[in-house]
Structure 1
Amino acid sequence: MTAHDAARDPGRITSPMLIGPLVALVVLLAALFIWPHELIGASLGDFLLVTLFLGGGAAWLTGKAVARSWESYVHLVAYCALLACAVRFCHFALFQAMLFDLEPLVVEFVLLASIATLGFRAMRQRQMTVQYGWMYEREGHVAWRPRRPDGD
């Protein structure tokens, strides 16, 4: 596969849409170990409950819904920004956290956008391999590749 073919193949396992969220999650996890209180703006339990479980679950489902409706990735980013604001408001309303605190909002957005992107890719992989099964085959849980001829 040439570099030109790889650039036109968005389903590959090395796609920036797949590598980007994984790198963002690793960097975010490392930063949370170094500056936990500054970046989450709440207690660890509050962060895990509201941001990771509730917000992360909503982000995963949002990613799948955007992919299911064949909308573009730009829509997903906009929905994740709104979701991050909603999660920030839940922290404010339930746990008296700062409402307009930039660092936790950015952390929540990156985390939710990464989770939503993985949900988006999981649904898009299913769509591409089911609807275009004659053309694509699965390559893991979130990637697809052009179907290989039977002779290879």
Structure 2
Amino acid sequence: MITSVPVFIGLTIVLFGGCAFMTGQALAATWRPLWQVIPYALLLGAADRFLGFALFGGPLLSPAGWLLDSAVLIAIGMLTYRRTQVRRMADQYPWLYVRTGPFTLRKL
């Protein structure tokens, strides 16, 4: 499934998680719909599988590993998307919205 826990943390969470973070920010900053995070994260999951195989000798064609990697990247991308969208809405429309938390808004 995964090569090892340090490889998973370093490759999936740190390296590709950073890519998913930037993807979520870019999609929210350009007012794209949330569902677009999913195909990008699936592609990042495939790239993660390839680098794990090429650099660390992990299994390349592991559907369970790919789904795990992709699920983590989707979660990171969607959370970042929502956080960025809330921040932008509160900053651009302060007469309409106020932030009540990192992921929530309240109408005035």
| TM-score after normalising by structure 1 | 0.68
- 2:8 alignment partner in structure 1: 47
Of 74, 84, 87 in structure 2, the residue corresponding to residue 123 of structure 1 is 84
Aligned length: 108
User: After superposition, where does 1:18-57 map in structure 2 within 5 Å?
Assistant: 38=1, 41-57=2-18
* Deviation at residue 143 of structure 1 after TM alignment: 1.3
Distance 1:47 1:99 in 2: 14
User: After superposition, where does 1:1-152 map in structure 2 within 5 Å?
Assistant: 38=1, 41-147=2-108
SS of alignment partner, residue 60 of structure 2: coil
Q: Give the unaligned 5+ runs of structure 2.
A: none
Distance 2:43 2:11 in 1: 15
Q: Give the unaligned 5+ runs of structure 1.
A: 1-37, 148-152
Letter in 2 for 1:103: A
Q: Deviations over 1:75-126 (max 9, x none)?
A: 1111111111111111011011111101110001110000111110111011
The structure number with the bigger radius of gyration is: 1
Letter in 2 for 1:89: F
SS of alignment partner, residue 42 of structure 1: coil
| TM-score after normalising by structure 2 | 0.95
* Deviation at residue 54 of structure 1 after TM alignment: 0.5
SS of alignment partner, residue 98 of structure 2: strand
Distance 2:63 2:56 in 1: 17
